[in-house]
């Protein structure tokens, strides 16, 4: 590995390797309990093969930025975040009733289908949800196993652990607020932004960067400046990342997003995009949003109507502007950051990748 | 703490303390995200106040048996198992659709009720399940935080980690086999016993004991003999413990079990008690079991009919005999165990407590 060559592609490849190695270690434990575990193992293997590995990449660059060398140990520790994230996706899909993920049926849907095909006892949906809860738990438990067995020195792990702990508690707090907001019908921009801060910005960028930096070490002022950089770069970038996700969910190509267009609306998600739309909407436009939001049977014509309101109110243009402004803010934070030049370059590139329009 | 005085009551009290201290540390993190988290924190506080703390007690006595001194650090590490177990209970109740736990509405039921009372958007049941999935995840993530921050030396934690890892993977494998068995209608004794081995015996007794012993240290023959004792004592005791639970679920006092009588039958659980009953049943008796098992609306008369079949086939008496034989086997394993006399005494007492008829 030559310095400067650690592109996202390299990280994705290495993280894929270490996750496969990790699953290989779990195989005898699971199959030792029973051959019946094989489809579960296969489903997890297939799930863990995908994903952009953004959280691992930010953790890796937090480490490199603080002066850590490229090595298999940091890639293994960073890959633990992908186990955490996969767990969150599996459980999110159950909580949201989402039937697809990365262009495939979601895990609970796969198991519900299998139950129905086999003509088993009970409800296919309840069975699918139960298996997905369990497999998500397994991924969450494996997060620590992978982190602790990454091969990093005990001292490094002890520095990183509190960041990992905080990250998990915060993301679950954010999800709780999100669920509550959806249920209570809270559509204000302020509450949508708070959910984004906890569920996305801290979880995807700020904490992974801080985790990598904490693992690499450093004490005193350098360390707290590093943590401040992760915040100054991570929080605005996280908002931009989520806004792009909101837009792609309605205006993107389902072949690229891996989800049908408009699923956020069907699931009643209080996105920032919709909060801005609603704040700019006329009474007639607001009525359309309120009627459509959370309708699980919303068809393509209904989604098109929502898109027209988002565009018509100027909310889409405002969000694009917000993305640009937030990315610029994140990039500006890099300029003065006390991290290696190489890390600055990689993080600038990641900021663009994470918020790109993708076609 | 005088030696020999570490009764289950002492462990329960200390574990209660450290769990409350742990929750106190989480308070600013959760409430920092939003005041809305307060009911979630309260629900977890109330949940964590209860329970027999058996897993913590076995971990504690694994430590003491290997020569470890009574200290706050081992109690904190052992209490981490109670976070793990609470997570499993919260998720189990969602998976099984159980409406009560320890005499209170289960967590998902509490939130479904709150949703209905507030007249919020969407389905109260889906909301309750989603919040319970999330709070169960939080408890699972906290397991590691509590274990890692127990204050035990890094070297001890490194010895214990693989046991904790194995324990979590095994219990989830056992639950998976259980779900699959229920769905596929597998009622053989062999498969019921395999589920008990993974879901109960390893998880409740063998691995907690081994975890305590691993944390205390020791190498070479002494260590592997200690692990073998945990198996020789833990596996038969685990079977006896589960059989007692099966019996109490149908013949016990709901005020003591905290669950309505017959819930296992309503949920279609393939218990060992029912597998033995079915193996001894006449065609007429088997038809009653098959018709009732998994009927969510089974009333008290239906439960009484099942009880009559269990008693009539002689399965109840056989199970009582099995409990006695398994407890005797566990106690015999203690005799030759290379552990302190104090630990032998405490583990003998725990074997009786864990399998007592409770009134």
B220-251 and B189-196 are packed helices; what angle lies between their axes, rounded to 10 degrees? 120
Six token digits for residue A152: 């990093």
Read off the tokens for B355: 């399998």
Tokens representing A233 are 């770069």
Q: Is A119 left (phi over 0), alpha (psi -120 to 50) or beta?
A: left
CA distances from B75 to A106, B70, B151 (A): 40, 8, 10
What does the block give as tokens for B189? 């004794």
Q: How far is residue A281's CA from residue A315's CA, in Å, rounded to a whole number?
A: 9
Q: Where are the alpha helices (DSSP H) in chain B?
A: 8-33, 38-48, 54-65, 72-96, 107-118, 124-148, 154-184, 189-196, 207-216, 220-251, 254-257, 263-266, 272-280, 283-292, 300-312, 315-335, 341-355
Residue for token digits 């005085």? B5
Query: Is there a contact between B129 and A30 if contact means CB atoms under 8 Å apart?
Result: no
A179 with A266: CB under 8 angstroms? Answer: no
Which among B301, B241, B251 is positioned nearest to B272, based on CA atoms?
Answer: B241
Phi, psi of B298 (to 5 degrees): -55, 125
Contact in structure between A32 and B197 (CB atoms under 8 Å) = no
What are B332's two structure tokens?
A: 């015999």
**Measured between CB atoms, does B176 come within 8 Å of chain A?**
yes
Cα A101–A89–B30 angle (5° rounding)? Answer: 155
The H-assigned helical ranges of A185-282 are 189-196, 207-216, 220-251, 254-257, 263-266, 272-280
What are the backbone angles phi and psi of residue A104, rounded to the nearest 5°? -115, 160
Mutation pick from B43, B97, B179 vs chain A, by most beta carbons of A within 10 Å, is: B179
Touching A: B residues 238-297, CB under 8 Å? 268, 294
Q: What is the pLDDT along chain B (359 residues), one digit of tens a residue?
A: 334 456 899 999 999 999 999 999 999 999 999 999 999 999 999 999 989 999 999 999 999 999 999 999 999 999 999 999 999 999 999 999 989 888 889 999 999 999 999 999 889 999 999 999 999 999 999 999 999 999 999 999 999 999 999 999 999 999 999 999 989 988 789 999 999 999 999 999 999 999 999 999 976 666 666 778 899 999 999 999 999 999 999 999 888 888 889 988 998 888 999 999 999 999 999 999 999 988 989 999 999 999 999 999 999 999 999 999 999 999 999 998 989 999 999 999 999 999 998 74
Chain B residues touching A152 at Cβ < 8 A: none
Q: Which of B140, B169, B183 sits opposite A30 (nearest CB)?
A: B169
The confidence band for A165, taking pLDDT boundaries of 50, 70 and 90, is very high
CB A289 within 8 A of CB A302: no
Q: Which of B31, B34, B289 to mutate to test the interface with A (most CBs of A within 10 A)?
A: B34
Q: How confident is the model at residue A193 (pLDDT cuts 50, 70, 90)?
A: very high
Residue from the list A121, A141, A268 with its beta carbon closest to the beta carbon of B168: A141
Are B34 and A173 in contact by the 8 Å Cβ rule? The answer is: yes
Q: In the prediction, which pLDDT does B13 show?
A: 96
Ramachandran class of A294: left when φ > 0, alpha when ψ lies in -120 to 50, beta otherwise:
left
Q: What is the DSSP letter of B218?
A: -
pLDDT of residue B2: 39
Of A30, A154, A176, the CB nearest to B154: A154
Question: For residues B265, B271, B274 and B275, what is the CA-based torsion angle, rounded to 10 degrees?
Answer: 140
pLDDT above 70: residue A219: no
Q: What is the pTM of this model?
A: 0.95
């Amino acid at each position: 590995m030559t310095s400067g060559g650690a592109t996202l592609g390299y990280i994705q490849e290495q993280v894929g390797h270490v996750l496969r190695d990790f699953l290989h270690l779990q195989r005898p434990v699971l199959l030792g309990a029973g051959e019946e575990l094989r489809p579960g193992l296969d489903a997890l293997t297939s799930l863990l093969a995908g994903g952009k590995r953004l959280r691992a990449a930010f953790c890796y660059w937090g480490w490199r930025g603080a002066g850590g060398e490229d090595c298999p140990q940091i890639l293994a520790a960073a890959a633990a975040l992908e186990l955490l994230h996969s767990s969150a996706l599996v459980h999110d899909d159950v909580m949201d009733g989402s039937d697809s993920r990365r262009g495939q049926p979601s895990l609970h849907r796969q198991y519900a289908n299998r139950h129905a095909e086999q003509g088993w006892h009970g409800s296919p949906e309840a069975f699918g949800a139960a298996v997905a809860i369990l497999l998500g738990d397994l991924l969450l438990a494996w997060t620590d196993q992978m982190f602790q067995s990454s091969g990093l020195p005990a001292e490094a792990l002890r520095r990183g652990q509190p960041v990992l702990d905080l990250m998990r508690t915060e993301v679950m707090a954010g999800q709780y607020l999100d669920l509550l907001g959806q249920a209570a019908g809270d559509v204000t921009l302020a509450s949508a932004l708070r959910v984004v801060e906890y569920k996305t910005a801290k979880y995807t960028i700020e904490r992974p960067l801080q985790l990598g930096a904490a693992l690499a070490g450093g004490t005193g002022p350098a360390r707290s400046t590093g943590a401040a950089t992760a915040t100054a770069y991570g929080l605005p970038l996280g908002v931009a990342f989520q806004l792009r996700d909101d837009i792609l969910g309605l205006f993107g190509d389902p072949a690229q997003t891996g989800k049908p267009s408009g699923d956020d609306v069907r699931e009643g998600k209080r996105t920032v995009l919709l909060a801005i739309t609603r704040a700019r909407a006329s009474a007639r436009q607001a009525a359309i949003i309120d009627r459509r939001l959370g309708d699980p049977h919303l068809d393509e014509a209904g989604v098109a109507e929502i898109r027209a309101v988002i565009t018509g109110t100027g909310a889409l243009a405002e969000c694009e502007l917000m993305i640009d402004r937030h990315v610029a803010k994140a990039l500006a934070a890099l300029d003065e950051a006390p991290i290696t030049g190489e890390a600055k370059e990689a993080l600038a590139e990641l900021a663009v990748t994470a918020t790109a329009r993708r076609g």
